[in-house]
C-alpha cells in the first residue's frame, strides 16, 4: 500500500518525507486555505519536495472552467494530479483530461456506484471518504471493500485511494481489503509508529545496557 500525506503544510511534508514513508501528497481547497499561502506557491513547493503524485484540486464547478483550472494546475509540475469532484461536470472533465493523458483523482466519493462511474471516466484515482461515512452512521470500510471488488471484477486501472482516514485502524483495514493508497493526516501517519509495548521494551533494553557501563563507540 502507498501512503500519501494529506496536508498543504510544507514543513510537515518535508519532515515525513525524510522518514521514507511518503509516496505522494493530497491537498484540497480547505488545506490550501489553512496554509494562508497562494495555491501556486504551495503546489510547486510540494512537488519539489515529493517526487510522487501531488493532488491539486480545482475550485470551479462547471465543465469548461474546470478544464481551464485543471490544465493550469497540471502545468505547475510534472507530478501534479488534477483533483476533481464527483459530479456530472467533474466526471465529464475527468474523461476529457484522461483522454489527454492527464492523471485525475476523483474526490468526494461516497458510494460504489459513484466509484464505478469514476473508473469508467478514466480516473487514475478514486477517493472514497471513509471517516465522513462513519460520522453519519455508515460503514466507510464496507465501501472500500465494495469498490475493490468491483474494480477487480472488471480490471479497472483506477487506484483506490482511501481518504478521510481518522486512525491507524482505518489504514490497517484498508490494507487488508487491498486498497492501493491511503492518504493520511500527518498525525495519523505518526500514530502508525506508536505502540506502548515498543516504548516499554526499548526502555528496558536501554536500562539493562546502562548497567553494563559499556559504549558501542
Number of H-type helices and E-type strands within the chain:
11, 8
Q: Give Cα 54 to chain centroid, integer Å.
A: 9
The cell numbers describing 43, all together, are 503546489
Alpha carbon separation from 38 to 7, 11, 106, 120 (Å, rounded): 15, 16, 23, 33
- Residues designated as active site: 83
Q: Are 58 and 70 in contact (CB under 8 A)?
A: yes
Q: Virtual CA dihedral for 112, 151, 68, 80, nearest 10 degrees?
A: 120
112-120 and 140-154 are packed helices; what angle lies between their axes, rounded to 10 degrees?
40
Place of cell 492501493: 180
Amino acid at each position: 500500500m502507498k501512503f500519501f500525506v494529506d496536508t498543504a503544510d510544507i514543513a510537515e511534508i518535508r519532515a515525513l518525507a525524510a522518514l521514507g514513508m511518503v509516496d505522494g501528497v493530497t491537498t484540497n481547497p480547505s488545506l490550501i486555505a489553512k496554509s494562508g499561502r497562494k495555491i501556486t506557491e504551495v503546489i510547486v513547493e510540494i512537488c519539489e519536495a515529493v517526487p510522487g503524485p501531488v493532488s491539486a484540486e480545482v475550485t470551479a464547478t462547471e465543465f469548461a472552467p474546470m478544464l481551464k483550472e485543471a490544465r493550469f494546475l497540471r502545468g505547475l509540475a510534472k507530478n501534479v494530479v488534477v483533483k476533481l469532484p464527483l459530479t456530472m461536470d467533474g466526471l465529464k472533465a475527468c474523461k476529457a483530461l484522461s483522454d489527454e493523458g492527464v492523471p485525475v483523482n476523483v474526490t468526494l466519493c461516497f458510494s460504489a456506484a459513484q466509484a464505478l462511474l469514476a473508473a469508467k471516466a478514466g480516473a487514475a484515482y478514486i477517493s472514497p471518504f471513509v471517516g465522513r461515512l462513519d460520522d453519519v452512521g455508515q460503514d466507510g470500510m464496507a465501501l472500500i471493500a465494495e469498490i475493490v471488488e468491483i474494480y477487480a471484477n472488471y480490471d479497472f486501472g483506477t487506484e483506490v485511494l482511501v481518504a478521510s482516514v481518522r486512525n491507524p485502524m482505518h489504514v490497517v483495514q484498508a490494507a487488508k481489503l487491498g486498497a492501493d493508497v491511503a492518504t493520511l493526516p500527518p498525525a495519523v501517519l505518526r500514530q502508525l509508529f506508536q505502540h506502548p509495548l515498543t516504548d516499554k521494551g526499548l526502555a528496558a533494553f536501554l536500562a539493562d545496557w546502562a548497567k553494563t557501563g559499556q559504549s558501542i563507540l
